[in-house]
Amino acid sequence: MSAMTLESGLAEMGLDLPSEAQAKLLAFAALLQKWNKVYNLTSIRDAGQILTHHLLDSLAVLPYLAGIERLADIGSGGGLPGIPLAIATAGRVPALAIHSIETVNKKASFQQQAKIELGLANFTVLNERVENVRPDLPFDAVISRAFSELSDFVGLTAHLLRPGGRLLAMKGVYPRDEIARLPAAFRVVEALPLTIPGLGAERHLIILELD
């Protein structure tokens, strides 16, 4: 995986990240590959697929995080999308503080190691079940990537949000049936198609609010 390949992917997505951020993204991909051999953090092991399916896929939501200062990432496994987003927004004004809530100890341990090695001051790991988390300050938004069902996502995470906060669900194909099963208290604000270079599969960002 070369920096030029990452750079071209970012350019195709219209994302302009400094060279330091790109270097950290590649370092994170290398860490993911290294730890994956022992901890089985992700089923994707090919370097090229880590670039498209993990890094670029995670970063596709960047344009939709404007105005968010506190973001919770739920069930992120190997730190996706939280760690790539933390790398990409380091130094942003206003700052974006990302809190990753991960139940599985070995995955939380990997994320903590990545935080240390990559120097991610804006990234915090909580090794806890999401339903047990009671933050001192509520979050502006909660994000999750490939969470099993939208109704489960909103049911488990709505208590983390400030009034007027949003739930950001990263999905593959447009989840029409899941949207139909949402509790009446929630509404879809936007359903945005995402284009990820080299992925060749549908991706959507579903933005939800309490009605």
pLDDT one-digit tens code per residue, 138-154: 999 999 997 779 999 99
Is 145 marked as a binding-site residue? Answer: yes
Residue 25 has pLDDT above 60, yes or no: yes
Which tokens hold the place of 62?
């960047």
Residue 1 has pLDDT above 60, yes or no: no
Which tokens hold the place of 189?
């604000």
Is 45 marked as a binding-site residue? Answer: no
Q: Which of 70, 119, 74 is nearest to 100 (CA)?
A: 74
Integer Cα distance of 83 and 37 in angstroms: 19
What's the structural domain count of the chain? 1
Residue 46 has pLDDT above 70, yes or no: no
Mean per-residue pLDDT, 32-48: 70
Q: Which of 125, 126, 145, 110 is nearest to 32 (CA)?
A: 110
Q: Helices 82-89 & 105-118, crossing angle to 10 degrees?
A: 20
Q: How many CB atoms lie within 10 A of CB 13?
A: 17
Mean per-residue pLDDT, 23-28: 96
pLDDT tens-digit readout, 146-205: 777 999 999 999 999 999 999 999 999 999 999 999 999 999 999 999 999 988 889 999
Which tokens hold the place of 187?
């509404």
CA atoms within 13 A of residue 75's CA, in its CB half-sphere: 14
Q: Residue 159, Cα to own-chain centre: how many angstroms?
A: 19
Is 131 marked as a binding-site residue? Answer: yes
pLDDT at residue number 52 = 85
Is 172 marked as a binding-site residue? Answer: no
CATH number reported for the structural domain that contains residue 151 in this entry: 3.40.50.150
- Domain range for 88: 3-210
pLDDT at residue number 4 = 40
Q: Residue 195: what residue type?
A: T
How much of the chain, in percent, has pLDDT values that exceed 90? Answer: 78
Question: What are the two backbone dihedrals, phi and then psi, of residue 79, each rounded to the nearest 5 degrees?
Answer: 95, 30
